[in-house]
Amino acid sequence: GLGQGRAATAALEGIARNPNASGKILVPLILGLALIESLCIYALVISFTILG
């Protein structure tokens, strides 16, 4: 949610300021968003496990 939006906003602002740095910004952004998303999926699985 909010964390993903802030990360994407910061990355896009960085690319807008320096388009040559897009390669250095996009890869960590995608990895970070994937880690954030996996954390949400793990939390969902754990909550379903607890609720039974």
pTM above 0.75, yes or no: no
> What pLDDT digit, counting tens, does each position of 6-26 carry?
888 888 898 899 989 888 888
Q: Domain containing 9: what range?
A: 2-51
Q: What CATH number corresponds to the domain at position 7? A: 1.20.20.10
Q: In this structure, what token pair is assigned to residue 1?
A: 């949610």
Mean pLDDT of the 43-47 span: 95
For the cut 90, the answer to whether the pLDDT of residue 52 exceeds it is no
Burial label for 28, CB within 10 Å (0-12, 13-18, 19+), is exposed
Please give the tally of structural domains in the chain: 1
Report CA torsion sign: 9, 15, 18, 23: positive
Burial (CB < 10 A; 0-12, 13-18, 19+), residue 25, is: middle
Element spanning 51, H or E: helix 22-51
**Separation CA 30–CA 50 (nearest Å):** 30
Q: How confident is the model at residue 45 (pLDDT cuts 50, 70, 90)?
A: very high
